[in-house]
Each structure stands twice: as structure tokens, then as C-alpha cells.
Chain A
């Protein structure tokens, strides 16, 4: 990116790379402006230094808040929310497997997507893979009551973690946003401070709309973290940078495939470096 003389072209190339990574015009302008200023002030000399400083700047933006998930609530209740098809159910499957099989914790899943065709069957197959219990209701039943029963079951058997799946929904549909708030309230009736962790899945192929998603979902319910899914493709997930910059919600996990082990903690430095890497 910073080969040859540093001139107008350099900044244009950098801008292009960031826009192509879905970082968005606004955040891109901020980053490029900052780097350009530091360069003209003479603090940064040579391509190496610029490149390093750029990655640092990007990582700093991406790194907001605490990226960890505390699972010591006995049981800790985790709820996943997000737009249709972004990877909620798959993330739950991977997370349950990690907690149950790798960390030796006891997990209960709540199949509170009672809306989408075969959503319950899908989560059920993941529960088998992860070796954990699942609580479900009939298709079309009230998602809140399924979530309630799942948390109740988790408490009964002394589970460490209860993970509640929800139906995909678009953030611009108010009644569906209100339904999320209701599910949350119902969970709170079973366990006072639950849910402890609400994770919003964002598909890394998402464009500028991802910021609206984060803003409107977090208006409906408090969002504790982002799961950036499908990073195994060619998309860089740059919208997560805009989300971090504008909302301060930390990215906590990333999805890098469809298999059990394809979930990772988010690493801001790796993410920043990958944002600018060309080709995959």
C-alpha cells in the first residue's frame, strides 16, 4: 500500500482499500485524515512506519470495551440476536460445543426461534453435536415462554450456561424489535439479572447497513457484543470498525466457517492487519 513515494495517490489507494473493506466513507475519512496529518507533521517516515501506524490506528478503533464473556453467573444466560441468516444458530452451536466439550461446562440451549421453518430442528442437531440439552416448544409458540423454560431448566440442573436462540429479524421492523425486548423481560422474570450477555451477529459481507443494524438492535435491547460471522470468505467485515467507532460495542467473537471449531475470540490486531491485506 505504501510502496514508492508518498503522495496524493498513496492516500487515494488507502482510501480505496478501506472502502472496499466496507469500512465506510466516514470512518475511512477519519483514519486517512489522521494518518495523513501524522505523516505531514513528519512523525512517520517510510512505508513501513506508515503501514504499522495505520494498523495501529485501525486496531485502536476496533478495540472497544471488554471482549470477554463472563460465564460465572451460574447459570450465565446468553442470548443471540440479529438479522436473518447472519449466523445466530450456527454461532450458538459452535459456542455450546466449545463451552461443553472444550471447557467442560454444562450448557442448555433454548430454541426460541419458533418462527422460521425447521429452526428448532437445526438447533437440535447442533445440541447433539455439542452434547448438550435443548429446551424447545412447538413451532409458532411464544418465544418468550421457550426462553423462560430454558433458563428454568438450566437452573434446575445446575447448568453453567444457557444460550437462547432467537428468530432472525430486520432491525427496521418495530414490532419484531419490541418482541426481543419482551423475550428479555420474560427471561428476567426467571432469573433477575439475566440475560447476562446479548450477542448481535453481524455477517461480515454486510455493507453500510450493518451500522443501522447495530444501532437499532441496541436501541431495542442492550447489546453486549458483536459476533462477526463468515470471515472465512473474501469480505473483510470492515463494517465492524464503523460499528465499534459509532456505538462502542465490542466485537467479541468471529466466525470463520461452518464447523464446530470455527469460532474464535476477536483479535483487534489480526482484524486490522487482515482489513488491508489484498486478495485471499
Chain B
């Protein structure tokens, strides 16, 4: 792991490797390389700043200057700090002792909520043997209900839908009643995409939360997101205090620095990775692999 970073840093430090010692200037240069790599990977500007500051301080503090094999030391410090940033407490779905366990999906338009709703249903059926219902609470986006009916049906979940004429909050409440009656273990509530600055729709999301009292609120974040990811996560956090993140579209070639940034800024764990359009392309998230990918230069 971190071979690529290692190589890049070694190349940066090539001129001093012969001498075997590092000067303060060499460390500065290395920090510039790391900074660029992280920004290129869409890690948030502020997160990058803090990160490089910490690493720089540790490099100086560790008396690397003048030591043998200093390049290795720098890599080791970067490695450790990055793991600390990505890792920490890893989370899981919280199951309620009194089913159904309710999971509320939220996120920006097109981030992958509806797809993830079906994928998570399939995942929980397979991993936990749960019987799952899904609720169609997106009444705005054309054919959103049809979409959930199809993908929910494909994974064998019961789809609770009432078309598009009722209020999403009412549909959510009704779906929960139905799921209880049907003895479901899990109810996953799909919601419409919304901007974190859309007051009306953020209010609606809060009302859905109040109506179904979810045990888990998951924010679906597109892995291709840039610097705005932090804004989005902070504001969804402020509105509904979500519990964890699903990173979607990780089958692309984006480095996914948004993942690291959301984790760093909100402290919320990334629980799942969505890695394709097929409904079984869904897995637990591995922070170490992600860290490697972000620095894969």
C-alpha cells in the first residue's frame, strides 16, 4: 500500500537521496507534491491544508532533518496521518430491537439514492436474512416511483408506493404502518434529490424524519463530487444529523477525495460503496483501499 505515493515522494526527494539527508526545503517541496496530489483527488482545500500542516510539523518534530533514510520517514508519516483521517470508528447499520429498522436515504439530485435503496435492500436480505420494504417518497422527479417499483421489484423487496399525489411525509408514515403490518425487518425510505440550500425540501426531509423516526439516516454522495462535498455534508448534517455515508459510482476513475473530506469534516463514517449499475454491485466500504486510491498517483 502507498507504493505509488512512496515512488512519487522518492522522486521528489531524488536529489537528496544520494546525500541521504533531508533539508527543511526538501520537506517543503515534498509537502507541495502531497498537496497537489490531494487537491487533484478532490480532497477539500481546508482538509488538505490541515493535513499538510500536521505532516509538516511531524516531519520537523521527528527530527527527520539530517537523519538517515528521511524519505522513508516522510512516507511513513503521510501514511499514518492519512489512515487516521480515513479510518477511525467504522460504522454499520444499526438494527432496532423492535422491527422494522428504518433507514432514511438522502442526498443531492442524481447522487444514486434510488439505486442504493434497492442495492441496500438486496444486501440486507443476503447478509442478514432481513425481509425488506422500500418506500417511494420521491413524488417530484418524473417516473421516480416507477424506477423504485422496478429496482425494488428486481431485488424482491416490497415496494410501498402511493403514486405522486400525496405528500411525501404522509407516504412515509403510511409506508411505516404497512411495513409494521407486514412484519418487515427493515424499511428503507427513498427520498427525492434535494439541494442542501433548498429550505423547503430540507424542511420536508426533517418532517419525514419526524414521521418515521429512522434508526439510520444515510447520505448518498457521488464519488465524483468536488470541493462542494463538504458543504453538502455539513448542511445535510446540520438539518438531519445523518449517521453515515454511501459513496456511489466508485466504479469510475475519480480518486474520491470527497470521501476523505466528508469523513474529515463531519466525522461520519462511510459505510458502503456503490460500484456499478447492477444491483449487486454494492459492498462495505474499506477506508484503507480508499486511502490508497486517493493517493494513487
Binding site for B on A (CB under 8 A): 16, 19-22, 24-25, 83-87, 93, 115-119, 121-122, 124-126, 170-173, 203, 205-210, 212, 230, 232-235, 238-239, 258, 280
**Contact partner, A233, options B197, B222, B224, B257, Cβ 8 Å:** B197
* Pairs A–B under 8 Å by Cβ, sample size 20: A19-B39, A22-B226, A22-B227, A25-B36, A25-B40, A84-B112, A85-B222, A117-B147, A117-B151, A121-B143, A122-B141, A122-B142, A125-B143, A172-B253, A203-B110, A207-B224, A207-B229, A208-B41, A209-B253, A235-B226
Known: A16-B45, A206-B224, A208-B42. 13 other contacts (CB 8 A): A20-B45, A85-B109, A122-B141, A125-B142, A125-B143, A170-B249, A170-B251, A203-B222, A207-B229, A208-B39, A235-B226, A238-B226, A258-B141
CB distance from A102 to the nearest CB of B (A): 20
Q: Evaluate contact between A234 and B231: CB separation under 8 angstroms.
A: yes
Question: Mask for B227-268, Cβ within 8 A of A = 1, else 0?
Answer: 111011000000000000000010111110110000000000
Chain B residues lying within 8 Å of A171, measured Cβ to Cβ, are 252-253
A207 proximity list for chain B (CB < 8 A) = 42, 224-227, 229, 254, 257-258
Query: Which residues of chain B from 8 to 61 have a CB within 8 Å of any chain A CB?
Result: 36, 39-42, 45
| Bound complex: CA A24 to CA B41 (Å) | 10
Give the residues in chain A near B202, CB-CB below 8 Å. none
Residues of A contacting B41 in the complex (Cβ-Cβ under 8 angstroms): 208
Inter-chain contacts of A235 with B (CB < 8 A): 226-228, 231
A65 to chain B, nearest CB (A): 24
Q: Tell me which of A172, A239, A280 contacts B252 (CB under 8 A).
A: A172
Chain B residues, Cβ within 8 Å of A126: 142
Which of A118, A173, A230 has the largest count of B CB atoms less than 10 A from its CB?
A118
- Whether the pair B147, A118 counts as a contact (CB closer than 8 A) is yes
- By a CB distance below 8 angstroms, the chain B residues around A24 are 39-40
Give the size category of B's interface with A.
35 or more
**Interface contact A232-B195, CB-CB below 8 Å:** yes
* Chain B residues with a Cβ under 8 A of chain A: 36, 39-42, 45, 108-112, 140-144, 146-147, 149-151, 154, 195-197, 222, 224-229, 231-232, 249, 251-255, 257-258, 277
CA distance A24 to B251 in the complex (A): 22
Given contacts A19-B227, A25-B39, contact A117 B150 (CB under 8 A): yes
Give the docked Cα–Cα distance between A171 and B253 (Å). 8
Verify A234–B225 contact, CB threshold 8 A.
Answer: no
In the assembly, what is the distance between CA of A209 and CA of B226, in Å? 8
Q: How long is the Cα–Cα vector from A258 to B150 in the complex, in angstroms?
A: 23
> Assuming A20-B45, A207-B254, A233-B196, is B150 touching A118 (CB within 8 A)?
yes
The reply to whether B45 and A209 form a contact with Cβ atoms under 8 Å apart is no
Chain B residues lying within 8 Å of A238, measured Cβ to Cβ, are: 226
Q: Which of B45, B226, B258 has the most CB of A within 10 A?
A: B226
Say whether B253 contacts A208, CB under 8 Å: no
List of A residues within 8 angstroms of B141 by Cβ: 122, 258
In the bound assembly, the distance between CA atoms of A206 and B141 in angstroms comes to 21
Point out the residues of chain A lying under 8 angstroms from B196, CB to CB.
233-234
